[in-house]
Amino acid sequence: MIDGVEIKELTTHADERGFFRELVRCDEAFFSQGFGQLSHSLVLVGVLKAWHGHLRQTQWTYVVAGTLKIAVHDCRPKSPTSGETIEFSLGDNSSACIYRLPPGTVHGYRVVSGPAHVIYVTSGTYDPTEEVRIAHDDQTIDYEWASTTTK
């Protein structure tokens, strides 16, 4: 695992009417960085979005529908996991989870089934000066995405 990245298993309360699932609560350590903005993204099958992160903000990501292959890379030079990359899948047919991306790390994902609906919460509001964007094929990360459409 990458230092500061956390994947939280969610509890689902289901009955004959459907289900209810809490994603984040203001009174839990997982969400201690606080609320800044809520965003929703619709992404088509085969699309690759990579790499993206924040200098100062924390981001929480939840896959509502579809399936994502997700990779997270640690760009923080002083982190104990600096330079490491992890991957996992979330969405349909997997455990209900939300993941936290700390400042200085970047993530990307490829939609393997969908379309995918992805919900993001960030600890601050959109500020292009604190965004980190790295090309999906950047050699310093050395991560191989399957052939996809890049966006």
Q: Where are the domains of the chain?
A: 6-139
DSSP string, 39-86: EEEEE-TTEEEEEEEESS--EEEEEEEEEEEEEEEE--TTSTTTT-EE
The tens place of each residue's pLDDT in the chain, 151 residues long, gives 899 999 999 999 999 999 999 999 999 999 999 999 999 999 999 999 999 999 999 999 999 999 999 999 999 999 999 999 999 999 999 999 999 999 999 999 999 999 999 999 999 999 999 999 999 999 999 899 975 455 5
pTM, two decimal places: 0.91
* Cα–Cα–Cα angle for 35, 1, 38, rounded to 5 degrees: 20
Task: Tell me which architecture the domain covering 6-139 has in CATH.
Answer: Sandwich (2.60)
